[in-house]
Chain A
Amino acid sequence: EVQLVESRGGLVQPGGSLRLSCEASGFTFSVYAMTWVRQAPGRGLEWVSTITGSGGLIYYADSVRGRFTISRDNSKNTLYLDMNSLRAEDTAIYYCAKDGKAVAGFESWGQGSLVTVSS
């Protein structure tokens, strides 16, 4: 069974930093692209960043490029999101999601981590 377990989020001051992690199990992690998606309170889904299975290709939404860094450690089956220069508008639930490959969509999701940026 595929499982994606995210780290606990937290409360961060504006301008601060936070690292999220997503530990994967139940599949060959290194084969699949992984993505972070966020959802601000009461709002829709926003794609944040995607990293290919090898880590060789990385993509970011304009809203986070230059501030967030996605990475993965395939030896630990873990995906990361390093968030710097956090702003109030980064407040959201952050989900990690697994690419389906032949299934063109996110076929598995983590439980979500709440990140609150506030003073």
Chain B
Amino acid sequence: DIQLTQSPSTLSASVGDRVSITCRASQSISNWLAWYQQTPGKAPKLLIYKASTLQSGVPSRFSGSGSGTEFTLTISSLQPDDFATYYCQKYNSYSSLIFGGGTKVEIK
């Protein structure tokens, strides 16, 4: 089974910082990767799909890149609403839509 490993697990940053989160797949998943943001007490929100396509309504400071086994979510200038936990998810087959372990972005 394909596994997804996110790093770091926690990231401390300040408003205005550029931050990047990595997601590594144990086997190639082409570009079948999605990114979600979750704030405490809320359902996750889809940010990016197919590795680099911004979901409608998501601010352009969010971007995704990568293919195969290594993927990156970048926030170009961190805003107060962006302090949250971020998850990657492989979306290449309904038989296993697993998530990475999550990355918590906290205030430095």
Contacts and interface: CB of A to CB of B under 8 A. Distances in A.
Interface residues of B, number: 24
A36 to B, nearest CB: 11
B43 A104 contact: no
Contacts of B14: none
Given A45-B44, A47-B98, A109-B44, A104 B50 contact: yes
Interface of A: 33, 35, 37, 44-47, 50, 52, 57, 59, 61, 95, 100, 103-107, 109-112
Contacts of B46: 100, 103, 105-107
Interface of B: 32, 34, 36, 38, 43-46, 49-50, 53, 55, 87, 89, 91, 94-102
Chain B interface, DSSP helix/strand/loop, else mixed = loop
24 contacts: A37-B99, A44-B87, A44-B99, A44-B100, A44-B102, A45-B44, A45-B87, A45-B99, A47-B96, A47-B99, A50-B94, A50-B97, A52-B94, A59-B94, A59-B95, A95-B44, A103-B46, A103-B55, A104-B49, A105-B91, A106-B34, A106-B89, A109-B43, A110-B43
A47 to B, nearest CB: 5
